[in-house]
C-alpha cells in the first residue's frame, strides 16, 4: 500500500476472466486498504469503469484489455506492471491477449509482466514469454490442497429421510454434515 502511495510511476493493471470477479476483487482490495473504490484501486470493464487520476491498481477483464490493445497498442505505455491472473482459464480472449502482450513487450521494456494461476504450467508460460533467449523467472508459492468430493444432484435425492434436515419436527435445521451424503 505504501509503495502504491509513494511511487508516482507505479501503475498496475490486473486482468480477470470475468466481469463479476473483476469488480469484486477491486472492491475487496480497496476495502482492505480502507478506501473507497476508484481511489487507489479501481476497475475498467466494457461499458463501466470506476477509476480516478489517483488509481494505481486497475482490475480489468481479459476481453476489455484485449479490445483496448487491438485499438491502441500504445495503451500499455502508461502501465508499469501487467498481471495476467487466472491464465489457466484458457479461452480465445486469454490466448490472444497473451499473444498481443508478447508482441508488445519489446516496445515497452519498462513494463513488468506477472502471470498468475492456481494450476499454471509455469515452464510453458515462461518459455512462451521468453525474449532473446532469456527465460522469465518463475516463482512457485506452495499452497495446501484440500480434497474435493464431487456430489451430483441425483445423489442428494437418495439421502435417507431419517438424516434429512427437514425431518427434525419443528427444531432448527442443523447444517448438513458429510455423513448425511451417501457414499460415492
Q: What is the pLDDT of residue 159?
A: 57
What are residue 15's phi and psi, to 5 degrees? -90, 150
Identify the CATH number of the domain in which residue 101 sits.
3.40.50.300
Co-location of 89 and 175 in the same domain: no
Residue 85 domain-assigned (yes or no): yes
**DSSP secondary structure code for residue 175 in this structure:** P
107-111 long-range CB contacts below 8 Å, 24 or more apart?
107/73, 107/74, 107/76, 108/76, 108/77, 110/80, 111/76, 111/79, 111/80, 111/81, 111/82
Share of the chain above pLDDT 90, in %: 40
In a domain, 137, yes or no: no
Q: Stretch 159-167: mean pLDDT, rounded?
A: 53
**C-alpha to C-alpha distance for 17 and 105, rounded to whole angstroms:** 21
Does residue 152 fall inside a structural domain? yes
- 139: in domain: no
In angstroms, the CA 157 to CA 151 distance is 11
pLDDT band at 157 (very low <50, low <70, confident <90, very high): low
Task: Let me know whether 118 and 168 are in one domain.
Answer: no
Condensed to tens digits (0 to 9), the pLDDT of residues 24-49 reads 999 999 999 999 999 999 999 999 99
Whether residue 78 is found in the same domain as residue 169: no
User: What stretch of H or E contains 58?
Assistant: strand 57-61
Q: What is the pLDDT of residue 60?
A: 97
What's the CA gap between 76 and 98, in Å, rounded? 13
Pairwise pLDDT comparison (153 vs 100), residue with the higher score: 100
Instruction: Identify whether residues 153 and 124 lie together within a single domain.
Output: no
Q: SS3 of 43, please?
A: strand
Q: How many domains does the chain fold into?
A: 2
Q: Specify whether 16 is located in the same domain as 73.
A: yes
Question: Is the pLDDT at 158 greater than 70, yes or no?
Answer: no
List, for residues 86-123, the tens digit of each pLDDT value.
888 888 999 999 999 988 888 888 888 888 877 767 77
Q: Whole-number mean pLDDT of the chain?
A: 82
Q: What is the rounded distance in angstroms from the CA atom of residue 169 to the CA atom of residue 171?
A: 6
Please report which confidence band the pLDDT of residue 16 belongs to, taking 50, 70 and 90 as the band edges.
very high
| pLDDT greater at residue 173 or residue 142 | 142
Is the C-alpha dihedral spanning 62, 65, 68, 72 positive or negative?
negative
| pLDDT over threshold 70, residue 55 | yes
Amino acid at each position: 500500500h505504501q509503495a502504491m502511495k509513494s511511487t508516482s510511476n507505479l501503475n498496475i493493471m490486473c486482468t480477470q476472466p470475468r466481469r463479476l470477479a473483476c469488480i469484486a476483487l477491486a472492491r475487496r482490495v480497496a476495502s482492505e486498504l480502507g478506501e473507497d473504490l476508484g481511489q487507489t484501486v479501481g476497475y475498467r470493464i466494457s461499458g463501466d469503469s470506476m477509476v480516478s487520476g489517483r488509481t494505481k491498481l486497475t482490475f480489468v477483464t481479459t476481453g476489455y484489455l484485449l479490445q483496448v490493445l487491438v485499438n491502441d497498442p500504445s495503451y500499455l505505455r502508461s502501465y508499469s506492471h501487467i498481471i495476467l491472473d487466472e491464465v489457466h482459464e484458457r479461452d480465445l480472449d486469454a490466448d490472444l491477449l497473451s499473444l498481443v502482450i508478447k508482441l508488445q513487450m519489446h516496445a515497452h521494456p519498462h513494463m513488468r509482466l506477472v502471470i498468475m494461476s492456481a494450476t499454471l504450467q509455469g515452464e510453458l508460460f515462461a518459455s512462451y514469454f521468453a525474449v532473446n533467449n532469456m527465460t522469465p523467472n518463475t516463482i512457485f508459492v506452495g499452497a495446501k490442497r484440500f480434497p474435493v468430493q464431487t456430489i451430483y444432484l441425483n445423489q442428494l435425492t437418495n439421502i435417507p429421510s431419517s438424516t434429512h434436515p427437514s425431518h427434525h419436527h419443528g427444531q432448527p435445521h442443523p447444517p448438513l454434515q458429510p455423513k448425511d451424503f451417501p457414499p460415492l
